[in-house]
Structure 1
Amino acid sequence: MPDDLEEKMMGEELPEEKLLILPLSEDSRKIARILSNETSIRVLKLLEKKHMSAGDIAEELNVRLNTLKYNLDSLLEIGLIRVRRVKWSRKGREIKVYEAVEKVIILIPGKKNLDISSVFTMLRQHKPEGFEGTKIAGECI
């Protein structure tokens, strides 16, 4: 990627990163498992409001740090949160500050080789309530 384009996109998501389309598979089962975990949902809701470190999240949610670490790692792996920045403690320890990632996840059972234009066609035909005029990956549904 050219340097000037890379600079423009620093901190911004590419449109295709906001949309995750999955057939039923091990990946989709993993996402469903993570999103059915109450702690993961609580973390996502908290990070929607503000950026926080693991220690702050653990304190706010009243969960043990090792339990939280498992959930943060899972959410990072599937791309629903990211490290916004790294700061340093007084003792010189690295502290990651997390934020939620805005992403639309579409699970499509029974379709193995579905192209993205078919997905947009289906979204236009079956607009979810409240999605009128929404742009996903540059297309308006």
Structure 2
Amino acid sequence: MASAFPHQPPVTHAPRKQTNIVVDRDEPADVLQVLSSESAQEILATLKSGPRAASEIAKSVNQSVQNVSYHLDRLCEAELITAIDTWYSEKGREMTVYALATEQLVVQFDDSYD
């Protein structure tokens, strides 16, 4: 019997072209700390191919859903990814769909201390 819920309807999402990260002495760049995690990097690489739910990402990077969810939260807080839609599992459970928030990250160093 087919599920009454849409499993993975198509989503349209256009990430920002570029995000600039400015590194200076007075204000740490939290996004760099988030990016220092190998798990976060694997998640970003997975999302490069398109939006996915946490369970799909976990399967792709061979990690637990709990670990992936932790990194997804941190990546969202750093505005590197964004929740773009909700899909439903075959059992009717809501699944948040994540996508990259930006195509490129540019790290700049503050030059006000020259």
Q: TM-score normalized by structure 2?
A: 0.71
Distance 1:12 1:46 in 2: 16
Shift in alpha-carbon separation, 1:78–1:91, aligned structure 2, 3 A: same
Counterpart amino acid of residue 105 in structure 1: V
Query: CA distance change for structure 1 residues 13 and 98 in 2, over 3 Å: closer, same or farther?
Result: closer
Aligned-residue CA RMSD (Å)? 2.3
Correspondence for 1:86: 86
Q: Distance in 1 between matches of 2:15 and 2:45?
A: 20
For 1:50-129, list aligned pairs within 5 A.
50-101=50-101, 102-111=103-112
Aligned length: 99
Q: Following the alignment from structure 1 to structure 2, what is the Cα–Cα distance between the partners of residues 76 and 103?
A: 16
CA contact (8 A) 2:15 2:100 kept: no
Higher alpha-carbon Rg: 1
CA contact (8 A) 1:23 1:110 kept: no
Same amino acid, percent of matched pairs: 25
Higher RCO by CA contacts (8 Å cutoff, separation 6 or greater): 2
Q: CA deviation at 1:12?
A: 4.8
* Unmatched tracts of structure 1, length 5 or more: 1-9, 113-141
Query: Which structure features the higher share of strand residues?
Result: 2
Larger displacement relative to structure 2 (83-92 or 40-49): 83-92
Deviations 1:118-138 (A, max 9, x none): xxxxxxxxxxxxxxxxxxxxx
Gaps of 5+ in 2: 1-11
Distance verdict in 2 for CA 1:72–1:14, change over 3 Å: closer
- CA drift of 1:13 comes to 5.6
For residues 35 and 52 of structure 1, what CA distance do their matches in structure 2 show?
A: 19
Q: 3-state DSSP class of the match of 1:49?
A: coil
Tell me how far apart the structure 2 counterparts of residues 38 and 82 of structure 1 sit (CA, whole Å): 19
CA distance in 2, matches of 1:14, 1:37: 22
TM-score relative to the length of structure 1 = 0.59
Contact 1:22 1:108 in 2 (8 A): yes
